[in-house]
Amino acid sequence: MKEGGCLPPTVPAAPPPEDIWAKMKGGTGDPGPRFLPEDAMTDNLRGSLFMVLAMLGFAVEDVLLKRVAAGGVPVGEILIFFGGGGMLLFAALTKAQGQALWHPAVLAPRMLMKAGFEVLGRLFYTLAIAYTALSSASAILQATPLVVVAGAALIFGEKVGWRRWAAILIGLAGVLVILRPGLEGFTAASLLAVAGLIGFAGRDLATRAAPRVLSNFQLGIYGFAAMVPTGIGLLMWQGGAVMPGAAAFAMLAGAVVVGVAAYWALTVAMRTGEVSVVTPFRYTRLVFALVLGVLVFGERPDAMTLIGSAIVVGAGIYTLLRTRNVQRGRVQPRG
């Protein structure tokens, strides 16, 4: 070695990493996007993680609202506090993004329809988790993507082949296994979750047709705001409000914060990874609901509930994967 650390003239300097990569590829040009596979995997992993966190947040929100209802606070009052708190938080997030709180597109018929379905879904699902087992209500809710696919075919004319229609019917059969109509384990209150399922599916379908000028945060404002008059009407029918204790207030505030954070995580998940990779992780909400139902409320889901849940989740995942393949052109849209 010469002084200064230079290599002797007889030893060629090592080529830069780009040239080594090019030789390994058998070429001499641009090394190309070497890290694209890893980056794509990282995005999908990150998106999947955010989806799991969102589903955990929604499950915790359900637990908190159920605890408040079990403490004697009317469901109508819960909707007022939850809707008002969520509306204020989304308004703050909207302003932080420099967006307007009000937009004329809110009064579009499609937005009013979305608000109506939002009210239907939130009202009946809150009643369901208040008066039925958290595990069974959450299991029934997992059929929402199947109903959305069916609705997209019937309303928007999207191509859905016989394989996905079969998966939809099998998934709905799984809901019937959970409900057990006509059998000893059937309770009429379980139909509250079905009504909530229809409301949330209608909301998701209406969201597809919502004006593109509205952001997700703006949609969040109006979705939560719709719960306030709904809660007032329900409260008048139920017979009056009560003064929640400090613990109930804390749980309501926690439900609002966790619910909005879960909504944010859901938005990040859908924007980070591939939809076909990230979306199946929605079903982790059922796992969290089962675990929390056992730990917090001492629920013991029976075999019929577990079998029906597995049928719903399996049909949903198959439908998502089949839809992905059709959209990517790997198979014909006949299936």
Tell me: the pLDDT tens digits for 228-257?
999 999 999 887 888 889 999 999 999 999
The Cα–Cα gap between 249 and 255 comes to 10
Residue 315 CA to its chain's centroid (Å) = 17
Using alpha carbons, select from 286, 296, 190 the residue that is nearest to residue 251. Answer: 296
- Phi then psi dihedrals of residue 186, to 5 deg: -75, 135
pTM above 0.85, yes or no: no
Mean pLDDT for 195-213 is 86
CB contact at 8 A, 297 and 289 = no
Mean pLDDT for 209-215 is 78
Q: What is the pLDDT of residue 183?
A: 67
- Sequential DSSP letters for 248-295: HHHHHHHHHHHHHHHHHHHHHHHHHS-HHHHGGGGGHHHHHHHHHHHH
Domain ranges of the chain: 47-327
Asked if the model's pLDDT at residue 175 lies above 50, the reply is yes
